[in-house]
Amino acid sequence: MNILVTGGAGFIGSHTVVALAEAGFTPIILDDFSNSEAGVIDGLESILGFRPVTYTENCHNPETLRRIFRDEKIQGIIHFAAFKAVGESMQKPLEYYDNNVGALIVLLKTMQECHIPHLIFSSSCTVYGEPDALPVTEKTPVKPAFSVYGNTKQIGEEILHDTVSAGIPLKIIALRYFNPIGAHPSAAIGELPRGVPNNLVPFITQTAAGLRTSLTVFGDDYPTPDGTCIRDYIHVLDLAEAHVAALSHLMKTTASSYYDIFNIGTGQGVSVMELIKSFERVTGVSLNYSIGPRRSGDVTAVYAGVEKSEKVLGWKATRSMDQALVDAWRWQVKG
């Protein structure tokens, strides 16, 4: 069964291409390589033993989508293609709304026209903002977004909800990702941040590798046991496999219009200091870090309630954070 993976050369997208192929699907990549490297396809080839069909185009043009849907006999879509830098989204709101919301509308209209029913959408735990209670479940109220990026995910979810509520025959799942880390254990694919990494783990691995002099821990005066922020770090391959579970669930669903939302995390909250200590322990590398001021927009703590995804999708994370850190480090060292 042929599945179109938009943004399939990105961090989560490329690992999902592997998970799809391992589950017997045929992944077809659509990526404009605006935030990914051509070498990712070589890495995928070395893991899969075949070169995935790849279209170097974006999702804004319905004619492109129609052609690929037809030529590749696409039966489902996993839509990763989006901009994801929180800070940048505040400087470039129109680019973010155009790419993350505008292209989603084009995709949905073209799916409806071409009778392609199955869609998995990348959402984010950012929709919960600073939650009042932990863990957050899918019933936890969504809070006003802190950033344009976060708002594009909330608007995306609303568009999907409204589309399905109108009875349009599409079956859709939005996955709210927590913090993906790690890499494929082969080190053939991994996270490829451009410039200075925003995210904690690539910053740690680059610092440990000597590419950066020091890591700044953004604040140790939060109301948490060690004063640093708490997140739910999930191995990117576990996250990738959640997409396969969600797609399989959609394919079994008999309703012609369907929409649901799932948290995709481990259920474990881990502080920045705990993660740093784990990294040092599993790699044997001591990390140069110092405590700095808080980063604006960071929430104190968020981690996932995972009961719903276990019960409905039959999916749960199986890999440890230690394993994810070892894999991230192996990927960094391989350079």
Q: Which active-site residues does the annotation give?
A: 149
Q: How open is the CA angle 323-220-124, to the nearest 5 degrees?
A: 55
What whole-number distance in Å separates Cα of residue 187 and Cα of residue 176? 26
In the bound state with ligand UFG, the residue whose beta carbon lies nearer, of 84 and 319, is: 84
To ligand UFG, the closest distance from the beta carbon of 274 in angstroms equals 11
End-to-end CA distance of the chain: 34
Helix (H) or strand (E) holding 312: none
Cis peptide bond prior to 223, omega within 30° of 0: no
Please state, in angstroms and rounded to a whole number, the distance separating the CA atoms of residues 210 and 191: 17
Tokens 């909800």: give the residue. 161
Provide the residue type at 206 as one letter. Q
Contact residues toward ligand UFG (CB under 6 A) are 84, 86, 124-126, 149-150, 179, 198-200, 203, 215-218, 229, 231, 272, 295, 298
CA distance 44 to 48: 6
Question: In this complex, which beta carbon is closest to ligand UFG, that of residue 111 or of residue 304?
Answer: 304
Q: Is the dihedral of CA 166, 129, 265, 79 positive or negative?
A: positive
CB 274 within 8 A of CB 63: no
Residue 171 or 231 with smaller CB distance to ligand UFG:
231
Single-letter code of the amino acid located at 37: E
Q: In angstroms, what is the minimal distance from the CB of 328 to ligand UFG? A: 12
- What gap in Å lies between CA 322 and CA 277, rounded to an integer? 10
Q: Token digits for 254?
A: 């008999």
Min dist CB 6 to ligand UFG, Å, is 17
Q: 270-271 and 230-231 as β-strands: parallel, antiparallel, unpaired?
A: antiparallel
Question: For ligand UFG, which is the closer residue by CB, 75 or 206?
Answer: 206
- One-letter amino acid identity for 157? E
CB of 126 to ligand UFG, least distance (A): 3
Which residues does 333 contact at the CB level (< 8 Å), separation at least 6? 187, 209
126 secondary structure, DSSP code: G
